Structure 1
Amino acid sequence: MPTLFISDLHLDDARPGSTRLFGEFIDGEARGADALYILGDLFEAWIGDDDPSQAGALVARKLKALSDDGVPVFFIHGNRDFLLGDAYAERCGMTLLPDPTRVDLHGTPTLLMHGDTLCTGDLAYQQFRAQTRDPEWQRQFLSQPLEARLAFARQARGASAKHQGALREAGTMETITDVAPDAVDDAFRAHGIDRIIHGHTHRPAIHCQDGRTRIVLGDWYEQGSVLRVDGDGTELAGLDPVA
């Protein structure tokens, strides 16, 4: 049975087609997996485990049913859902993993990560990431009323869009928001592995060089995307278009 990897679904009530496709994937192909790994940005935004979205409720039902049927589900936080906590993970029946996590994947040591820490050239984002991963910042944020947190999420999405627009205007979008080669090399060396699987950049590809493999998962904006890994190899494939 294959091990399945997905990331960057960015599920949101404003995009019900992606949520429906996710549900079909869980009810279909995922039932035949030996495990499902979600490498971050499952949601467009997550403001705490009391998030009221319909997408969050559907995901919890689908993943809990999958887990109850014997398929382990693992989750690594992304830059949009870093506040997803133990309470919601329990609702889903999934296990939270640190970023990065090293696993033995069908006999090959493999490093799993969301991928944003590899984009070291985006200094503005890395500063924001450092701030929002601080436990005290998270404690204070989660103590705010729901409406205040929802407003912050809207503001953060707007700021992100503005930042990316400025990078496009300057002609630096492709380089700044992609991984930095030095950061990738450091990850390979630091963890003593020859394969990395990550998402975040929305640039699906399998990069092979000097005996090392870096697999980048695709997003779910226009169509689904899944990586299948078994004892015979890997397959990075698109799923049905988002209706």
Structure 2
Amino acid sequence: MTTLFISDLHLDAKRPEITRAFLQFLDEHAQHAKALYILGDLFEAWIGDDDDAPLAQDVQQALKAYTDAGFLLYVMQGNRDFLLGDAFCQNTGATLLQDPTKIDLYGTPTLLMHGDTLCTDDVDYQAFRAQARSPEWQAPLLAQPLPVRRQLALELRAKTQSMAAMKAEDIMDVNKDEVARVMTTHKADRLIHGHTHRPARHPVALGQSTGERIVLGDWHHSLWFLRVSPTECTLVEAPITRD
């Protein structure tokens, strides 16, 4: 059996081909794995677990069917869907992971993260992240009616996209010293994360040893997943069928 890792699908009603690709992924690739880990940004925006939009409902139903079939599902919040909570997990049968989470992956100590906290050079984003993850910020937001939250999500997305366009590329990538620090702190030989949309495998110097950082790709032009077994660790790219 294998374990699969994905992130940064950014599911959005405006991009139905990505949702179709994800549902097909569940039916094909994920059926051959014992567990699926979604490391953040499953959705382009998540306005709360009470979202009644068709996309939210359809995806939750598909994930519930997956876990009802006996497969393990783990979900981590990303910077786009940080409001995913307990009700989502109850609706899907998923386990919500803290960021970071360390697991034993077939004998390799492995650290799982969304990846945004590794981008420490982006000071403005880190300040917003700390604010947005606080209960004091989230409570009044979740108290707003769904239409208001949908509009706020659109405005926030437009604002973050505008800010990102003005930042240097290296600022929005991970800080290598921070990568080494968190891997050393958690005694992890491997780090798996998403967020940066730069799929690749990188060696990481860890004192007297060398670890590895694996970056998952976003589902924009292609679908990406990491397939791991006791004898394999492969970053896979596959085409997305478009009408």
* Letter of the 1:221 counterpart: H
Match of 1:184 among 171, 179, 183: 179
Counterpart in the other structure of 1:163? 163
Q: Are the counterparts in 2 of residues 60 and 88 from structure 1 also a CA contact under 8 Å?
A: yes
> Percent sequence identity over matched residues?
53
Q: Gapped runs of 5+ residues in structure 2?
A: none
Among 196, 199, 206, which residue is 1:201 paired with?
A: 196
Q: Flag structure 1 segments of 5+ consecutive residues without an equivalent.
A: none
Per-residue CA deviations over 1:119-169 (Å, capped at 9, x if unaligned) read 0111111111011000111111111111221111011111011101212xx
Tell me if structure 2 keeps the 8 A contact 1:73–1:94: yes
Structure 2 residue matching 1:179: 3-state secondary structure: coil
The residue type paired with residue 198 of structure 1 is H
> Any runs of at least 4 consecutive aligned residues in structure 1 with deviations exceeding 4 A, and if so which?
none
The residue number in structure 2 matching 1:39 is 39
Shift of 1:242: 4.4
Match of 2:215 in 1: 216
1:12 Cα deviation from its structure 2 partner: 0.5
Note if 1:53 corresponds to 2:43: no
Structure 1 CA distance, aligned partners of 2:197 and 2:175? Answer: 15
Report the Cα distance in structure 2 between the residues aligned to 1:124 and 1:44, rounded to whole angstroms: 20
How far does residue 58 in structure 1 lie from its aligned partner after superposition? 1.7
Alpha-carbon distance between aligned partners in 1 of 2:241 and 2:221, rounded to the nearest angstrom: 5
Following superposition of structure 1 onto structure 2, how do residues 96-111 of structure 1 map, counting pairs within 5 Å? 96-111=96-111
Map 1:23-172 to 2 at 5 A. 23-167=23-167, 172=168
Length, aligned pairs only: 238
- TM-superposed CA distance for 1:209, in Å, is 3.7
Q: 1:186 to 1:110 in 2, by over 3 A?
A: same
Alignment RMSD = 1.0
Question: After superposition, what is the alpha-carbon deviation per residue over 1:153-200, rounded to whole angstroms, capped at 9, x for unaligned?
Answer: 011111011101212xxxx1x201100011101111110111100000
Q: Distance in 1 between matches of 2:155 and 2:240?
A: 29
AA aligned to 2:199 is: P
Q: Supply the AA of the counterpart residue of 1:129.
A: R
What SS class does the counterpart of residue 213 from structure 1 fall into?
strand
Higher deviation after alignment, 151-160 or 47-56: 47-56
- Cα gap change, 1:242 to 1:156, in 2 (>3 Å): farther
Residues 178/242 of structure 1: CA separation in 2 closer, same or farther (3 Å cut): farther
Structure 2 Cα separation of the partners of residues 146 and 193 of structure 1: 41
What is the CA distance between 1:55 and its match in structure 2?
Answer: 2.0
Matched residue of 1:236: which SS? strand
TM-score norm. by structure 1 comes to: 0.95
Look up the equivalent residue of 2:150 and give its one-letter code: L
One-letter amino acid matched to 1:183: E
- Output one character per residue of 1:60-90: Cα deviation in whole Å (capped at 9) or x when no partner: 1111111011110000100000001111111
Distance 1:93 1:115 in 2: 24
2:65 is matched by which residue type in structure 1?
A: A
Query: Are the counterparts in 2 of residues 99 and 112 from structure 1 also a CA contact under 8 Å?
Result: yes
Question: In the alignment, which residue of structure 2 is the partner of 1:235?
Answer: 234
2: CA distance, partners of 1:63 / 1:16: 17
TM-score computed with the length of structure 2 as normaliser: 0.95
| Partner-residue secondary structure (3-state), 2:201 | strand
Amino acid at match of 1:184: V
